Amino acid sequence: MKRLAILGSTGSIGQSTLSIVEQFPERYAVASLAAGRNLEEAFAQVARWRPRLISMATEELAGQLAARLREAGISGVEVAHGTAGTVAIATLPEADFVVSAIVGVAGLEATHAAIVAGKPVGLANKECMVAAGEILTRAARERNVPILPIDSEHNAVHQCLRVGAHAEVKAIWLTASGGPFRQTPLEQFASITPEQALKHPTWVMGRRITIDSATMLNKGLEVIEACRLFDVGPEKVRVTVHPQSTVHSLVEYVDGSILAQISVTDMRLPILYALAYPERPASSLTFDLAKLRHLDFEEPDFERFPCLRLAFEAAAKGGAHCIALNAADEVAVEAFLDRKIPFLGIPRTIEQVLAATPESHPGTIAEVLAADGEARERARSSIRP
């Protein structure tokens, strides 16, 4: 029986994780939940799962949840809050496995604390790996703690890597849907609206990641994530545009063999894989091969998607440049959604911030967060007229 600590339990990955627990009660139980700001959902999750500890984003929300639990006569559940609360969730002694699914760098300290505490981590938070991958992977290696990717592409790569040796890998191929503007004429990019950019062809996701898919910055973050998770340089990571999103990624070996992972586009499968690794439990997430007609693969267009080029450049420099790429993008996406900058202002802002970022390699989480703050400030001042 694995007892789970879930960071980001009310988000879509958190809820999918709980549906896996529901489906496999003989394998998984809930130890602790970091729920963020959604009080209703947090209350429902405590009532259903009775964790030992739950954490809310703020002290006020924690107080409200505690009062609701008292009214409902639910006892024995401790309510914490803030970063200290999230860290307590991740390091709870009885938790055997941590699902890291808080969006953004907010989950960074807790994810690091989980690894330092020797807990295996299922990682759905790519910003953690982009901003602090050098620190997280080093800590994990030193303690022999597995980090199992839940991001669908990296999960696919992890599966394909099980059949060969590290030195035999020629290239890791990350597939990209290409987003909604794969075929949009270049001259129309200047007038793309938030409404157009928020329509993703294959996945329903949060707002930032949907915009990041439209600019392909998301794929760029995944390139950096792949470098860190699989210990390869960016020259070994390739992106291929695969509009069907059926092949979740591929690994090319030096002998010429290419292994691909195909499955339904349902995040419960990578979550189940990460939770059960190295086992493969039987599931109902089947893929109908007979319905498969086309598998198209195209070269990505770096002119159309400058964010992808910027990400490869940041990946080559590592350290502060990867932190700045992620931070500047988050600020720029917010500004685009608020109609303060145009769609093409996103890569422009990132490029300016990267150019102003001195090369450095933060060695602690505190230094990562400081570099993140600096990059955000640079992005904000480059957006301000």
Nearer to Mg ion, 151 or 372 (CB): 151
**Stretch binding Mg ion (CB under 5 A), from 111-119, 147-155, 179-187, 350-358:** 147-155
Closest residue to bound Mg ion by CB: 151
Query: CA 191 to CA 68: how far, in whole Å?
Result: 47
Query: CA 207 to CA 194: how far, in whole Å?
Result: 10
Strand 237-241, strand 53-56: pairing: unpaired
**Stretch binding Mg ion (CB under 5 A), from 77-85, 150-158, 238-246, 268-276:** 150-158
Residue 185: CB minimum distance to Mg ion, A? 26
- Among 151, 225, 252, 330, the residue binding Mg ion under the rule CB under 5 A is 151
Structure tokens at 234: 């960016």
The answer to the question of residue 374 lying near Mg ion (CB under 5 A) is: no
**Stretch binding Mg ion (CB under 5 A), from 59-67, 115-123, 152-160, 238-246:** 152-160
State the binding string over 99-138 for Mg ion (x if CB under 5 A, else -): ----------------------------------------
Residue 55: CB minimum distance to Mg ion, A? 26
Q: How many residues at the interface with Mg ion, by CB under 5 A?
A: 2
The answer to the question of residue 372 lying near Mg ion (CB under 5 A) is: no
Nearer to Mg ion, 117 or 198 (CB): 198
Query: CA 367 to CA 225: how far, in whole Å?
Result: 19
Residue 153: CB minimum distance to Mg ion, A? 5
Nearer to Mg ion, 85 or 179 (CB): 179
Contact (CB, 8 A) for 368 and 135? yes
Tell me which DSSP letter residue 363 carries.
-
Q: What are the DSSP calls for 217-253, one per residue?
A: HHHHHHHHHHHHHHT--GGGEEEEE-TT--EEEEEEE
Residue 205: CB minimum distance to Mg ion, A? 9
**Stretch binding Mg ion (CB under 5 A), from 143-151, 172-180, 286-294, 324-332:** 143-151
**Residue numbers 153-172 binding Mg ion by CB under 5 A:** 153
Nearer to Mg ion, 83 or 244 (CB): 244
Nearer to Mg ion, 65 or 130 (CB): 130
Query: CA 196 to CA 125: how far, in whole Å?
Result: 25
**Stretch binding Mg ion (CB under 5 A), from 148-156, 224-232, 282-290, 316-324:** 148-156
Nearer to Mg ion, 109 or 151 (CB): 151
Which residues touch 94 (CB under 8 Å, ≥6 apart)? 3, 31, 52
Q: What are the DSSP calls for 136-168, one per residue?
A: HHHHHHHHT--EEE-SHHHHHHHHHGGGS-GGG
Torsion angle of the four alpha carbons 165, 166, 170, 172, in this order, in degrees rounded to the nearest 10:
110
**Stretch binding Mg ion (CB under 5 A), from 51-59, 149-157, 182-190, 320-328:** 149-157
Nearer to Mg ion, 153 or 330 (CB): 153
Residue 176: CB minimum distance to Mg ion, A? 9
Residue 151: CB minimum distance to Mg ion, A? 4
State the binding string over 55-84 for Mg ion (x if CB under 5 A, else -): ------------------------------
Query: CA 222 to CA 218: how far, in whole Å?
Result: 6
Nearer to Mg ion, 151 or 351 (CB): 151
Structure tokens at 88: 């307590």
Contact (CB, 8 A) for 136 and 229? no
Query: CA 268 to CA 247: how far, in whole Å?
Result: 16
Nearer to Mg ion, 330 or 351 (CB): 330
Tell me which DSSP letter residue 186 carries.
G
Which residues touch 32 (CB under 8 Å, ≥6 apart)? 5, 6, 51, 52, 53, 54, 55, 88, 89, 90, 92, 95
**Using CB under 5 A as the criterion, which residues of the chain lie in contact with Mg ion when the complex forms?**
151, 153
